[in-house]
Amino acid sequence: MEASSIVKQQEQRRDGSASDCVYVVVENGELYPVLYSTYEEAHAAVLEKHRELLDDELAEGEGMGGSCVHVAEDTSGQTKLYVEKEIYIIIQRYKAIMPK
């Protein structure tokens, strides 16, 4: 989904209230050029971008080596991931306030 065409998506919270959220991915200080409507979409984008490196780790028998990418969304709204080779990633949730 392009940033210019964000589609509102209702996200059901644990307390039952609905909120509109967007997710951004920041990798080593650089913002991905896309906003995501779910954590799962943002997480999948990270995995896809680094698929080759992660597959190489598995093939070398290192399991996930030093990478830490299979992480559930943190309740704080900021989830930190790490891919070997000094790649630090943050998936940040923001509440989107849409004009009426």
Banded pLDDT at 82 (limits 50, 70, 90): very high
Backbone angles phi, psi at 75, to 5 degrees: -65, -20
Residue 87 near residue 95, CB atoms below 8 Å: no
- Residues whose CB is less than 8 angstroms from the CB of residue 51 and which lie 6 or more positions away in sequence, other chains included: none
Q: 9-13, 69-73, 89-93, 95-99: which range is least confident on average?
A: 9-13
Q: What is the amino acid identity at position 86?
A: E
Give mean pLDDT, residues 12-30: 72
Indicate the pTM of the whole model: 0.75
User: What kind and span of H or E run contains 12?
Assistant: strand 10-12
Q: pLDDT (tens digit, 9 = 90+) per residue, 25-81?
A: 999 999 999 999 999 999 999 999 999 999 888 888 665 567 899 999 999 999 999
CA–CA distance from 15 to each of 19, 72, 76 (Å)?
A: 11, 18, 15
